[in-house]
Amino acid sequence: MTLTVRLDSAVEVALERHCAERGMTKSAVVQESLAKYLWSENDTMSKAAAGKCVVSPAFEAFQKAGLVGSGELNSASADKAAVRARAMQRIRRAKAA
């Protein structure tokens, strides 16, 4: 499912900084945050559903390729250009090996 969300500038800056510091995508942070919100510790029915949460095949592929949660991005932003550059760098390293 694709979801578009409008953020005010302060939240956007905080999200970008969080992603850059942890090497995570914005989607991963939003998914994790939303899951925590929806499956709070006080909601026993949601706890049962949380155990059935399935990770998408695309996420698993990116994670296996080392493109999710790597922590290598040291810039102030996790923009698309930076992510593409990091992906190309890893592809070149893999081809050279």
pLDDT tens digits, one per residue of 5-20: 899 999 999 999 988 8
Q: Where are the domains of the chain?
A: 9-96
Tokens read off for 10:
């302060």
Give residue-wise pLDDT tens across range 27-57: 888 888 888 887 776 665 555 555 566 667 7
Q: Which DSSP state fits 75?
A: S
Select the more confidently predicted residue: 3 or 79. Answer: 3
| pLDDT interval class at 60 (50, 70, 90) | confident
| pLDDT interval class at 97 (50, 70, 90) | confident
